[in-house]
Chains A and B, each alone.
Chain A
Amino acid sequence: MCLDDPTLRLLNLNFYPQPPPLMALEKITTIRGRAVHVPGNDVDTDRIIPARYMKCVTFDGLGEYLFYDARKNPDGTDKPHQLNDPRFQGATILLAGANFGCGSSREHAPQAIQKHGFKALVAENFAEIFFGNCITLGIPCVSAARADIRKIAEAVESHPAVEITIDVAQGEIHFAGQTVRATLRNSARDALVNGRWDPIGELLEGVEDARKTAGRLPYLASR
């Protein structure tokens, strides 16, 4: 029976809040791969994916619009951009500046990043909503000092094939024989390494408690 079958949904409604069987999530402890540096501070989510490419009802195919206006001329030809550089094709780690992902809450931004092939982000710091959206998709967003990001970027620039390892659990980045600190909020780190980054299973377990909390609030209890 297909999950989309309305009868099945009705059944679930009857058994609610019994959570449906959810797939176990991957424990994200280490990300290993090549990196590409997209410099600049305050890179907003409009720049990560321009709003005109959000006219869609699924997230399919968003990867091709990542950083679209920075990567493409109006006629669709390539501009010089790190993501167009053949040396960095296949990179799975994105190095960025400060306040990465500010602005709009659009999940289309981390979706585009993920669908483009990135598995982790390293920046000085991240905007709040963007950070939460990434963690929920299982994309570690680790913070590193500006000087350390520069060191990694220089290593990548001189040897694009250099392998970068982000040790999420230990909070370290290893590259070219060097190690720098990578910080991640405890709750996000634990969620990633324990395979709880998508919270839906845990939230469903709390539905009865949520109903009780709602019952104590007059604006919600009145129905």
Chain B
Amino acid sequence: MPKSLFEKVWSAHAVRPLADGQTQLLIGTHLIHEVTSPQAFGMLRDLGLPVLMPYRTFATVDHIVPTDQFAEPYRDPLAQAMMDELRRNCTEFKITFFDRATGQQGIVHIVGPEQGITQPGTTIACGDSHTSTHGAFGAIALGIGTTQIRDVLATQTLAIGRLKLRRINVTGRLRPGVYAKDVILHIIRTLGVNGGTGYAYEYGGEVFDRFSMEERMTVCNMSIEGGARVGYVNPDDTTFAYLRGRPYAPRGADWDAALARWRAVASDPGCAYDDVVSFRAEDLPPTVTWGINPGQGIGIDETIPDPARAKDANERASIEEALAHMKFEPGAPIKGTKVDVAFLGSCTNARLTDFKEVAKHLKGRRVAPGVKAIAVPGSQGVGRLCAELGLDRIFRDAGFEWREAGCSMCLGMNPDKLVGDQLCASSSNRNFKGRQGSPTGRTVLMSPLMVAAAAVTGRVSDAREVFGVGSSS
């Protein structure tokens, strides 16, 4: 009987059924960061429990780090306290911590893959909803709450109900100037922000076959924005080539054995899915959001929705609420909307390939007057690689600020924040009200190249026009 990757990995990690119908699921790899873990360690202390497998938990610091300050103490004493607390917990419980001084620090969803900790056929948990990112390697990767972090620390397991499985095919070839970010924004726009509730998403089709690991991570990262707690891509030679030689990847004979297991864990042809949805790559435009959730997206050439045309009162209320926050006019084109800030970073799009692709087009261009543009590598490792290739120079010459690794302006937990009702062209994953640190701040989500296009024109723009992408020249 053919089986899906989800089924194989789930069964291999199912410890036992629990009394109320959930499963006790073994979590092979646990990642933690400073925001959601301190209370979990506090709970462990209250219960007098040790960490069961400290060598299977890895820590980094990302949300609160100031990207313009390396030296401690940080200007924000609360941030410093969180930093100190994580250090104390990792020391006391003997957990590997990729602290800033190691040169391996970065956003947790960039560090795991970069270190080769994220591997096919494994279960991964992290107190962060974007843990779905790690599914790009063919893992079941789950975002969890803090009490569940306690559970994983104490027992290396979680109590969890089994998810249904939806296959999402993207067939054909993306048009030039259309990226992984557009693929996932289009999927969420189509299936809805809660369309994936109760599901794991298996992404596949020619587009995913051709995608690099970084592109697969971009898509899997935003699975949760479509309501799916888990998103994954079956592992293949692209996956294995990425992992080979990384610090935590198996070596020698272990590598060969791992490779055999990883090949076998991919979904078998003809396996069952609870649902299948297909998209044609050729239909996908560069996509941007116009509202206050990631499902409120439109093609760059489309106009902002009109509540008068909503299909019901519910949708009308949602559109009206979004327009009121965004200060947008119904029926207006999104293209040409004035931009105050351009943010290139986050666990969605702050990997080497993102900066490479943008630098290729940004070289020789200038950020428009009045636009604050910041580029934030997702990890110190990404920062070093960019520097080796001289990419940081291209960004600086163009007028971008080039920062230290961290979550930066994706969320308002560090000094990188919007001010007032500034509008930000952002390569991050959430356009929620207040997400970027100002209650009235406005976010328009888009691909990294679209962020660059917005930076140089000062307007929401079509990167294909701004940079001549896809033209014969």
Instruction: List the interface of chain A (C-beta within 8 A of B).
Output: 3-4, 8-9, 12-13, 16, 20, 22, 40-42, 44, 46-47, 50-52, 54-59, 69, 74, 98-99, 102-108, 110, 125, 127-129, 132-133, 136-137, 146, 185-188, 190-191, 194, 196, 198-200, 202-204, 206-207, 209-210, 213-214, 216-220, 222-223
Contact = CB atoms under 8 A, between A and B. Distances in A.
B469 interface: no
Contacts of A74: 439
B119 interface: yes
Contacts of B15: 206, 209-210, 213
A218 B151 contact: no
A218 B198 CA distance: 29
Contact of A51 (B47, B79, B412): B412
| Most B CB within 10 A of own CB, among A102, A105, A110 | A105
A13 B194 CA distance: 42
Given A46-B411, A105-B145, 8 more contacts: A3-B46, A41-B314, A99-B194, A103-B224, A105-B36, A127-B197, A190-B19, A210-B157
A3 B439 contact: no
B155 interface: yes
Interface string B2-38: 0000000000111110111110101010000001101
Contact of B50 (A3, A12, A107, A220): A12
A46 to B, nearest CB: 4
Nearest to B261: A218
14 contacts: A42-B194, A44-B293, A47-B433, A52-B437, A103-B225, A105-B128, A106-B36, A108-B146, A190-B19, A190-B20, A191-B20, A206-B24, A209-B15, A219-B250
Nearest to A41: B318
B459 interface: no
A218 B128 contact: no
B21 A187 contact: yes
B389 to A, nearest CB: 32
B191 interface: no
A50 B439 contact: yes
Nearest to A199: B159
B434 A214 contact: no
A58 B430 CA distance: 25
Interface string B32-58: 000110110010011111101101100
B17 to A, nearest CB: 10
B439 A55 contact: no
Given A136-B148, A190-B20, A219 B119 contact: yes
A108 B145 CA distance: 9
A114 B147 CA distance: 14
Interface string B163-201: 000000000000000000000000000000110011000
A156 to B, nearest CB: 19
Contacts of B399: none
A186 B161 CA distance: 10
A203 B434 contact: no
B48 A105 contact: no
Interface string B67-83: 00000000010110110
B227 A56 contact: no
B145 A9 contact: no
A200 B49 CA distance: 11
Contacts of B159: 199, 202-203
B321 A222 contact: no
A146 B155 CA distance: 40
B194 A214 contact: no
Contact of B293 (A42, A55, A200): A42
A223 to B, nearest CB: 6
Contacts of B397: none
A129 B141 CA distance: 13
Contacts of B314: 41, 98, 146
| Most A CB within 10 A of own CB, among B78, B129, B261 | B129
B434 A47 contact: yes
Contacts of B63: 51
A196 B20 contact: yes
B385 interface: no
Contacts of A22: 47
Contacts of B158: 203
